[in-house]
Amino acid sequence: MDDRIREHARTLVDWSARIEEGDDVVVDVGPDAHELAVAVAEELGERGANVVTTYSSSEVTRAYLLGHDGDFDADPEFKRALYANADAVLSLGGGRNTTETADVPGETRQAYNRANEGVREARMETKWVSTDHPTRSLAQQAGMSYEAYRDFVYDAVLRDWEALAQKQAKVKDVLDDASEVRIVSGADTDLTMRVDGRLAVNSAASVDYDSHNLPSGEVFTAPYATEGEVVFDVPMTINGRRVRDAHLKFEDGEVVDHAAAQGEDAITEVLETDAGARRLGELGIGMNRGIDRVTDNILFDEKMGDTVHLALGRAYTSNFPEGHEDEANDSAVHVDMIVDMSEDSRIEVDGETIQENGTFWFEE
Amino acid sequence: MDDRIREHARTLVDWSARIEEGDDVVVDVGPDAHELAVAVAEELGERGANVVTTYSSSEVTRAYLLGHDGDFDADPEFKRALYANADAVLSLGGGRNTTETADVPGETRQAYNRANEGVREARMETKWVSTDHPTRSLAQQAGMSYEAYRDFVYDAVLRDWEALAQKQAKVKDVLDDASEVRIVSGADTDLTMRVDGRLAVNSAASVDYDSHNLPSGEVFTAPYATEGEVVFDVPMTINGRRVRDAHLKFEDGEVVDHAAAQGEDAITEVLETDAGARRLGELGIGMNRGIDRVTDNILFDEKMGDTVHLALGRAYTSNFPEGHEDEANDSAVHVDMIVDMSEDSRIEVDGETIQENGTFWFEE
């Protein structure tokens, strides 16, 4: 086994999920994440954790959804109980075809997501962490060879997380004191959001930092009262469909108009899921310089240095002070989209520029 | 997809597990059973069942067990709750190496089995069915090409189960009225067992027949007060180790001596699991003539026509009249071993021969 797989597993179990003896851990395994699952199982055994492995295959999901009439039972107890009784959920992504669910009708997917909202909430109450094992399918989506893609993944995952956390703390401090953030990029993006009363999260790939992705490397908050327009010029895949140059227009915090150069129907579907899907749930500032290229995988792309991402839908309660969690935007979806900030761009906080063309004030 | 895979899935879901709308179904997927999992998921979707897919990999299990110090938590609630709230559990076997756990110490495996006894009991309260997807690993264990092995599996699985059930009913009737069964084979096997007060099960690959294996094709009961000696002349693999000509001597219902031409330590380990592991939990008479050769896979071998199998350990409560289930032999293990009855052999019931050299009285 490649030593980096073991190192990935150790980082996931210790730094990210902070697994302790006796923890009840669900390990969700993609079909091609098998090797990482073996390494994670060994680490969990060594720490005296209890393990249930679930199988996450988009081919299986597609077959089930296409077979079903769409009238799904809400939150089946056997599924809810698994997560409600778990201390941690480690998702090891690794499929064989990132577009496998492209022919599942959007309304079927939405109905299934809505029916499983309680299950998802139970899962999010745990120490959950999502990561990806490098697969040939993800290499293909990135337009890279498998060997080069593996190097890319481990460069992004096996970092000095402690050092990055310290750097990100500076940006968190600025956002915590801020009232308004403005994102300006090129001719078409000029968006203003309120962030007062919200807490920024220093997302350093660990549940101890309210961070649930490995890799991470971003600072994010939960904006509201969004006004203006934005073009997401980093291409991405949403529900199995390619989306390019999605354009959203906000008024009074809600999307009032949308378009895209490609994949507009995927955006339409997301927006129609529920009322919360028309509002932003997240503003994130990517700060992982180990991620040096777009690979069309949101887990990595949104963390890339010199980018900003916005998510339609559900907000993370970690962005709200205690007692204010119910102010978090509620939705069955959380769909991230990215703006390249490396050129002709700036981030303003209460009128002061904190990043220009990808360079932060403390990096000048 | 090979049409036989879909037919296998339909047989499993409809004939075997009798899945109904709204059933909560755990589908346990082996790494190489993926295709069957896709077909099963589609069938379950069509029937409006709810699904959780778990991942069953001997490589993952081995890594976990070798990492662990052996002091396992008993019946972790998150795992128990999944099965306790499920209506059915469909196990789709399909690994890549049947000897993967060969280097896991026996005491570790035993300790893990004991710690998970409540989980296993919860699972056995459901409509559980175990089947195997044909894999290259199972073909190799059988000494067959992959293509020939697939033909073998589907010949065994895709049968007229209704017709076989009617034939097996004759044998069940005889056993239900019997006090004593005697198995005689070659020079070394002469074993006598009591079966009065027990119910024989007409195991026709359906939970409606108290049968939990696909394929099935056997009639089994729960013997006691076993006396005599038996040699299991059909080779098999137990806990990843090859066992040949296992020889057991019974006195007063318990194993008092054992030996084997190969793999004796595997038998020793089984016997040392707990007190119940030294007693028989099952006597089965194989009647599936679609299975025409030994493939070193107990799920198939024990159902083969012209064989008898005995299991050390746990008895099935289905062999006991209502209110007498607590008389079932209790153990963390259930290990089947097989005697070839095709030559120089007979089964006697209360002194009358019901099968001689593989031919039943009603087949003469």
Probe site for chain A from B27, B28, B82 (most A CB atoms < 10 A): B82
CB of B105 less than 8 A from some CB of A:
no
- Average pLDDT value for chain A: 96
Backbone angles phi, psi at A324, to 5 degrees: -115, 10
Residue B165's region, left for phi above 0, alpha for psi from -120 to 50, else beta, is alpha
Which of A34, A43, A73 minimises the CB distance to B67?
Answer: A43
For B121-180, the pLDDT digits (tens) are 999 999 999 999 999 999 999 999 999 999 999 999 999 999 999 999 999 999 999 999
Which residues between 236 and 255 in chain B have a beta carbon less than 8 angstroms from any beta carbon of chain A?
none
B38 contacts on A by Cβ (under 8 Å): 57, 59-60, 63
For B91-136, the pLDDT digits (tens) are 999 999 988 998 999 899 989 999 999 999 999 999 999 999 999 9
pLDDT of residue B237: 86
The rounded distance, in Å, linking the Cα atoms of B310 and B224 is 11
The CB-side HSE value for B73 (13 A sphere, CA atoms) comes to: 17
Which residues between 19 and 48 in chain A have a beta carbon less than 8 angstroms from any beta carbon of chain B?
22, 24, 26, 29, 31, 34, 37-39, 41-46, 48
* Residue tagged 């577009």 (tokens): A99
pLDDT of residue B124: 93
Nearest CA in chain B to A108: B45
Going by C-alpha positions, the residue among B272, B274, B270, B302 that lies closest to residue B287 is: B302
pLDDT of residue A46: 98
Q: How many CB pairs under 8 A join A and B?
A: 151
Going by C-alpha positions, the residue among B229, B228, B223 that lies closest to residue B311 is: B223
Angle, in degrees to the nearest 10, between helices B117-124 and B106-115: 60
- Average pLDDT value for chain B: 96
Q: Region A218-241: what's the mean pLDDT?
A: 93
Three-state secondary structure call for residue A110:
helix
Q: Which two tokens stand for residue B361?
A: 């009285």
The rounded distance, in Å, linking the Cα atoms of B266 and B178 is 33
Strand order across the beta sheet in which A50-55 lies:
A213-214, A127-132, A88-93, A24-29, A50-55, B50-55, B24-29, B88-93, B127-132, B213-214
A66 contacts on B by Cβ (under 8 Å): 42, 45
Q: Does residue A129 or residue B236 have the better pLDDT? A: A129
B310: which strand partners? Answer: B283, B337
> Does pLDDT of A28 surpass 80?
yes
The answer to whether the beta carbons of residues B312 and B281 sit under 8 Å apart is yes
Number of CB atoms found within 10 A of residue A60's CB: 24
- pLDDT confidence band for A11 (50 / 70 / 90): very high
Three-state secondary structure call for residue B286:
strand
For B259-308, the pLDDT digits (tens) are 999 999 999 999 999 999 999 999 999 999 999 999 999 899 999 999 99
pLDDT of residue B364: 76
The rounded distance, in Å, linking the Cα atoms of A171 and A73 is 43
- Whether A78 and B50 lie within 8 Å, measured CB to CB: yes
- Whether B48 and A69 lie within 8 Å, measured CB to CB: yes
Q: Region B203-217: what's the mean pLDDT?
A: 95
B138: Cβ–Cβ under 8 A, 6 or more apart, which residues? B94, B98, B132, B149, B153, B295, B297
The rounded distance, in Å, linking the Cα atoms of A90 and B57 is 17
- ipTM for the predicted complex: 0.85
- Whether B53 and A48 lie within 8 Å, measured CB to CB: no
The rounded distance, in Å, linking the Cα atoms of B82 and B128 is 13
B210: Cβ–Cβ under 8 A, 6 or more apart, which residues? B201, B202, B203, B316, B318
Three-state secondary structure call for residue A127:
strand
The rounded distance, in Å, linking the Cα atoms of B248 and B232 is 9
Looking only at Cα atoms, what is the longest distance across chain A? 58
Angle, in degrees to the nearest 10, between helices B77-84 and A77-84: 180
Which residues between 43 and 82 in chain B have a beta carbon less than 8 angstroms from any beta carbon of chain A?
43-46, 48, 50-57, 59-61, 63-69, 71-73, 76-79, 81-82
The answer to whether the beta carbons of residues A284 and A336 sit under 8 Å apart is yes
The rounded distance, in Å, linking the Cα atoms of A278 and A248 is 10
The rounded distance, in Å, linking the Cα atoms of B57 and B34 is 12
- pLDDT confidence band for B9 (50 / 70 / 90): very high
pLDDT of residue B241: 85
DSSP string, B299-351: HHHTTBTTEEEEEEEPPPGGGS-TT-GGGS---S-EEEEEEE-SSSEEEEETT
| In chain B, % of residues over pLDDT 90 | 94
pLDDT of residue A240: 75
B257: which strand partners? Answer: B249
Q: Which two tokens stand for residue B202?
A: 């007409």
How many angstroms separate the CA of residue B290 from the nearest CA in chain A? Answer: 30
B61 contacts on A by Cβ (under 8 Å): 41
Q: Region A292-311: what's the mean pLDDT?
A: 93
Second-level CATH architecture of A3-157: 3-Layer(aba) Sandwich (3.40)
pLDDT of residue B335: 95
CB of A105 less than 8 A from some CB of B:
no
The rounded distance, in Å, linking the Cα atoms of B165 and B137 is 31
Distances in Å between the Cα of A174 and the Cα atoms of A177, A180, A289, A350, A354 are 5, 11, 20, 10, 9
Where are the domain boundaries for CATH 3.40.1830.10 in chain A?
Answer: 3-157
How many angstroms separate the CA of residue B146 from the nearest CA in chain A? Answer: 21
The rounded distance, in Å, linking the Cα atoms of B182 and B346 is 8
- pLDDT confidence band for A210 (50 / 70 / 90): confident
How many angstroms separate the CA of residue A133 from the nearest CA in chain B? Answer: 15
How many angstroms separate the CA of residue B73 from the nearest CA in chain A? Answer: 7
The rounded distance, in Å, linking the Cα atoms of A297 and A301 is 6
CB of B108 less than 8 A from some CB of A:
no
For B226-269, the pLDDT digits (tens) are 999 999 999 988 887 889 999 999 999 999 999 999 999 999 99
The CB-side HSE value for B118 (13 A sphere, CA atoms) comes to: 12
Backbone angles phi, psi at B258, to 5 degrees: -150, 155
Backbone angles phi, psi at B353, to 5 degrees: -80, 120
The gap from C-alpha A319 to its chain's centroid, in whole angstroms, comes to: 15
Number of CB atoms found within 10 A of residue A272's CB: 12
Distances in Å between the Cα of A68 and the Cα atoms of B9, B46, B51, B91, B348 are 16, 5, 11, 21, 51
> Does pLDDT of A95 surpass 80?
yes
pLDDT of residue A125: 95
Alpha helices in chain B (DSSP H): 3-10, 34-46, 58-67, 77-84, 106-115, 117-124, 136-142, 146-157, 161-176, 264-271, 298-301
Number of CB atoms found within 10 A of residue A203's CB: 29
- Whether A68 and B54 lie within 8 Å, measured CB to CB: no
pLDDT of residue A298: 87
For the whole model, what pTM was predicted? 0.86
Angle CA(A66)–CA(A67)–CA(A68) in degrees, nearest 5?
Answer: 95
Q: Region A359-363: what's the mean pLDDT?
A: 93
